[in-house]
Structure 1
C-alpha cells in the first residue's frame, strides 16, 4: 500500500504503521526460524507462533480498515500501538523477559507515539512500556541455559542486542523521516492556505473599491459623452478633429460599457454555471475588444488547434484577465506584439510576446504582486497582473512571466471544458 500525500496526517501514519508492522512480523518469523532450526532452542513455540499469527490478523484488519474512508483518530492510532506493545510483551514473557536482547524494541512504539500523537498519549505510552519492562524483570519464562556453552550463549545475547538495536534504529529512523516529510508538507499547505486567504482579502478589498469607483465614474463619463457629442456637431468640417473625437467617444462608450458590466457581474453565478463558447471564437472576441481599447497597438495573432474547436468558460472575469495581460504587453512594447494561441482537447496555451525591456531587477521578483508596478506614476496601479493571475488560477489555469531575447513572454495555460460522456 502506498501512502497518499493528500491524506490527513494520522491516516498516513496508520498506513506507515501497517507497513512497519509487516516488517516486524517478517522479522519475528525469521528470528523464530533461526532460533528453532539454527540454535535449536526449546521455547513455547506454539504460543509464540500464535501471537505472531494474531498480530498478522490484526494487521489484515488494519489493511481492510484503511480501505474505508473513516477518519483516523488519535485514540484509534494509540490503540494500534497498544496492540503492538501487548504482542511484544507476550513474546518477551515467553522468551526470557527482561533478559531477552529484544527488550529494547519497547522504544519503537514509544518513539512513534511521541512523533505522531499529542503529548498526553506519549506519557501514557511511556508509563505502559515502563510498567511492562518492570514486570518482565520478575515474571517471565526463562530461556534455556547450557552451562557448558555459557560463552556461546553470551555471544548470542550480544548478537541479539546488536540485531535489536539495528532493527529499532532503522525502523525509528524510517518512521521519523516520513513524519518529518508529512510535517513539512503540512506546513507548506498551511503557508499556501494563508497566502490564498490574504490574496482573497486583497481581491475583496479591490472589488469593494471598484464597485464604489463604478458608481462615482458614471456621472463624469456621461458629462464627457455630452461634451464630445456637442464638439463633434460643432466642428463638422474639421476631418482630423472628427477622427480624434470619434476615437475619444469610442473610448468613453467602452468605459461606460465596462462599468455597466462590472456592476452586472458583481452577482455573477458560480463558474460551473457559466455557459461555454468555442475557444477560437472566444479568443477572437477578446482580441477584437482589446483592439478597440488599444487602436494604436500593432500586433499579429496566430491561432491553431484541434477542430472542431473545444469550448472554454465564457466569463467576463476570464476575458478581462486576458485583456489585462494584453494591456501590460502593449504598455511594455510600443512597437509590436505577437499573440500565439494553440489548443488541444484539454488545454489552451496562450503566449503573448512583447519587445520591451523584459523583467529587470525588482520586477523579476515582484511581478504579479498587488500594487507593484514599473510604470510611471499615474499610468498604472499594479493590480492588472495581480487580478489576472488570481482569476486565471481560480479557473484552474496558470500564468508564467519569463524573459526572452528581445523582450518578455507571458504564458497562459487554461483548462477547456471536457465534453460529457
Structure 2
C-alpha cells in the first residue's frame, strides 16, 4: 500500500534520499491487511468466495517487498523511482480488490493513503499523475470486479459499514503515522543542516584567522628585528645595572621565541593531519607543548603528569592541536592570575580512557560561566576585546577536527578542569 522510497519533493537528489525501513514497514502492513482479508474476513463472511487469487496477489506484493529488502531499490531509476513503487502499490491493490468485490469492498478506501503519501513525497506533476491513476483504478473497479456473495445477506449492510469504519480508521492512522514521522525526519534534517552551516561558518572563520596570522607574521618581522637591535644596543651599555641586564636577557629570549613562532607560521600553515604514519609518542608531544609554553611564560608554572599507561601510546598531532593545548594551558594560567592565585601551577594530566588519550588541564581560577562556554564554541567573544576568546574557540575547532571533544567542569576546591580526548594509534613497535 505504501511505497518503499520517501524523498524530499522538488530536488535533483530528492528521490535518492529515502527512509527505506519506514516505508518497507508500511508495505508489510499492506501485506498483513491483504492476508487478513483473504484468510479470515472472506472465509468467515463469504465461504464460497475463491481466495487463491487474493493470496497470489498478496504473495506477489510480499515478494516485491523482499526484493526491495535485498537491494533492488538501488537499481530503480533515480528520478521516478518513488512514483514507480507507488504505482506498483496501487496496481496491487487494484488487482486484489478486483477479486474481492471492487468498490463494494470497504478496503477500497485504502487507495487514499497511497495518494496522500504520493502528495507528500513526490513533485507536483508526479503526485497528480498518481492521483489520476488512483481515480482511474477506482472508476474501473466500479464496473469491473468479481462480486462477493455474503453468506448472510441480512447482515451485508451492517458488515459493509463496519468494514468502512475499519478501513477509514486504518487509513487515518497510516497517514498520520507516515506524515508525522516524515515531518520529524525533516525537522531533524533541518537541525543537522543548521549544525553543518554553523561548522562551515566556524571553519571559514578559522581560515580567515589563518590568513590574518600569515599576514601578521610577514608584517611583524620588521618590528621584531628592530626590537632585537635595540635590546642588543642596550645590552652593550655599561651603565645598565645587573637586574636590568637580566630583564634585557629575558626580553632577548622572548624576542627570539616570537621570531621562531613567526618563522614557523608559514611552514605550519595549512599543515593537514596525516592519516597514515607521522605518529608521535603521546608523552613526548605533551612534554614538548608544555615546555614550549614554559619558555614563553617563564614566570608562570605548569606541571605535567603522564600515566604509566600513556608512555607507550602514540597519536597523530599536527600544529593546530599543539596550539589548542597551548591555549588551554595559557588560559588556565591567566585564570589563576586573575583570581589572585598566581603561585598555583597549572596541572596537566594525561591518561588512557575508553575514548583514547584523555588530557585534563586544571586551574585555580574563578571558573567559566556556562553562557560563555556555549558562545565560544561558535566564535570569539565580542564583549572581550582583550582576549576575545580566540584561544578557546580555536581549541574547540582543532580538537573537534581531530575527532575529539572539549568539555569543562568545575574543579573541587575552586577552579576549572578542561578535558579533551584524542584517538590513539596502535603502537606496532
- Fold equivalence (TM over 0.5): yes
1:74 CA drift (Å): 4.5
Q: Secondary structure at the match of 1:19?
A: helix
Q: 2:113 aligns with which of 104, 108, 111?
A: 108
Asked whether the 8 Å contact 1:345–1:418 carries over to 2, the reply is no
The question of 1:204 aligning with 2:213 is answered: no
The question of 1:245 aligning with 2:254 is answered: no
The question of 1:89 aligning with 2:94 is answered: yes
1:12-411 → structure 2 map (5 Å cutoff): 12-65=18-71, 73-145=78-150, 149-235=152-238, 238-272=241-275, 275-306=278-309, 308-334=311-337, 335=342, 336=344, 337-344=346-353, 347-360=356-369, 362-372=371-381, 377=385, 379-404=386-411, 406-411=414-419
Q: Distance in 2 between matches of 1:150 and 1:346?
A: 71
Partner of 2:10: none
Asked whether the 8 Å contact 1:10–1:72 carries over to 2, the reply is no
1:102 CA drift (Å): 0.7
Gaps of 5+ in 2: 6-12
Q: Distance in 2 between matches of 1:237 and 1:276?
A: 48
Q: Distance in 1 between matches of 2:382 and 2:361?
A: 19
Asked whether the 8 Å contact 1:78–1:113 carries over to 2, the reply is yes
The question of 1:415 aligning with 2:423 is answered: yes
Asked whether the 8 Å contact 2:15–2:81 carries over to 1, the reply is no
Q: Distance in 1 between matches of 2:309 and 2:248?
A: 43
What count of residue pairs does the alignment treat as equivalent?
A: 411
Asked whether the 8 Å contact 1:116–1:179 carries over to 2, the reply is no
Q: Secondary structure at the match of 1:342?
A: strand
Shift in alpha-carbon separation, 1:189–1:345, aligned structure 2, 3 A: closer
Q: Secondary structure at the match of 2:143?
A: coil
Q: Distance in 1 between matches of 2:371 and 2:202?
A: 20
Q: Secondary structure at the match of 2:421?
A: strand
1:347 CA drift (Å): 1.1
Q: Distance in 2 between matches of 1:314 and 1:150?
A: 82
1:182 CA drift (Å): 1.8
1:309 CA drift (Å): 2.0
Asked whether the 8 Å contact 2:399–2:405 carries over to 1, the reply is yes
Instruction: Calculate the TM-score normalised by the size of structure 2.
Output: 0.87
Q: Distance in 1 between matches of 2:244 and 2:160?
A: 104
1:361 CA drift (Å): 7.3
Q: Secondary structure at the match of 2:80?
A: helix
Instruction: Calculate the TM-score normalised by the size of structure 1.
Output: 0.89
Larger deviation: 347-356 or 301-310? 301-310
Shift in alpha-carbon separation, 1:365–1:17, aligned structure 2, 3 A: closer
Asked whether the 8 Å contact 1:10–1:77 carries over to 2, the reply is no
Shift in alpha-carbon separation, 1:345–1:97, aligned structure 2, 3 A: closer
Q: Secondary structure at the match of 1:292?
A: helix
Q: Distance in 2 between matches of 1:246 and 1:8?
A: 67
RMSD, matched Cα = 2.7
Shift in alpha-carbon separation, 1:160–1:420, aligned structure 2, 3 A: farther
Q: Distance in 1 between matches of 2:352 and 2:291?
A: 19
Deviations 1:231-276 (A, max 9, x none): 2232587332222122211111111111111111225355326611
